Amino acid sequence: MTKHLTKRKLDKTRNDRLYFDSYSDVTIHEEMIADHVRTNTYRTAITKNSQYIRGKVVLDVGAGTGVLSMFCVQAGAKKVYAVEACSIAEQAEKIVKHNNMEDRIEVVRGTLETVDLPEMVDVIVSEWMGYALLHESMLNSVLYARDKWLKAGGLILPSKAELYIAPISDPVVQDRLYFWYTVKDRYGVDMTCMSDFARRCIMNSDIIVNSVTTEDVLSHPAHFAELDLYSIKVEELRSVKGQFRCESFGSAAVNAFCIYFTVTFSCADTQQALVLSTSPFKPETHWKQAVLYLDTPVDVVQDTVFAGTVSMFPSEKSTRHICVHVDYTIGEQERQSKTFSIPDWSSEAQP
């Protein structure tokens, strides 16, 4: 059955992974730049803050292809230090020259914690967010940069991150669990006895990054944590937690929670801040949502209360990997808890 294992792993989805591994150098950046919600929100936030950027010095943490650094030059930055640890920095160099910005942008190859800058900066810009906000995120590097390189009263873009949770009903999982009841009609063989095995396999403790459809969200999302990038300390990232309470819109079979985040850019020239949202109620971004499956689906009715606490902390195996612990009650059900994580093999991703 090794064949089947690999066969399965090489199907479309596996194959896409084949793509995105083999081509990750370009594909990662293609995807991020193609994410117009992400890229346009950053561009707008930088433009709206041009009065604070014009003639100033900017630090771009994890610059990638350097697109945010170039937005800062478009906004009048005097100098931008584009710090990037990966080989994509070579492409950033080319792009900067190609756009005649080499006099304004200095691509600095290295990790933020190790590079040496010739001066303090007025502004820090960074697109540091990972899945579920904190998975493999660069927030610690941004805070390090803030403490070491940002002038007093300097600007951080974005300046705030918030986390939300909502119960959902994933129809794909429902269909997959039901599949085994359809086999007899298809082929005259009764495979209903596979359903429990299927449920255990599918509703496990892996964090699944997927697009949650608006209709599948069963309540108003609940805000459970907020990070102020001007004041939060690195140590506080060891445990980001909060309480939540939601009430079901109607009757449904809940089979998961979804977690998503927003980041906020304070805007100089207007009272209203700019928000980059990864909510399932907003246009899709490449972050999608983080889906955490219950052990088994639970039928709820209108106004059923979902209440509990969410705690996010680094995995013991890899501090870059996030774990999510959810302690919750659904209606009158007894309290339950489940800890979710990104499977080990995703550490393949680490250079």
Q: How far is the CB of 305 from a copy of itself (least distance, A)?
A: 29
Residue closer to a copy of itself (CB basis): 51 or 192: 192
Cβ at position 151, least distance to a copy of itself in Å: 26
For a copy of itself, the closer of residues 137 and 266 by Cβ is 137
Given the complex with a copy of itself, which of 30 and 119 has the nearer CB atom? Answer: 30
| Min separation Cβ 273 and a copy of itself, Å | 22
Residues known to be catalytic: 127, 136
**Closer to a copy of itself by Cβ: residue 109 or 223:** 109
Distance of alpha carbon 248 from the chain centroid: 25
Nearer to a copy of itself, 12 or 233 (CB): 12
Rounded to a whole number of angstroms, the minimum distance from the CB of residue 334 to a copy of itself is 27
* Smallest distance from a copy of itself to CB 33, Å: 6
Q: Show the 3-state SS of the chain.
A: CHHHHHHHHCCHHHHHHHHHHHCHHHHHHHHHHHCHHHHHHHHHHHHHCHHHHCCCEEEEECCCCCHHHHHHHHCCCCEEEEEECCCHHHHHHHHHHHCCCCCCEEEEECCCCCCCCCCCEEEEECCCCEECECECCCHHHHHHHHHHHEEEEEEEECCEEEEEEEEECCHHHHHHHHHHHHHHHHHCCCCHHHHHHHHHHHCCCECEEECCCHHHECCCCEEEEEEECCCCCHHHHHCEEEEEEEECCCCEEEEEEEEEEEEEECCCCCCCCEEEECCCCCCCCCCCEEEEEEEEEEEECCCCEEEEEEEEEECCCCCCCEEEEEEEEECCCCCEEEEEECCHHHHHHCC
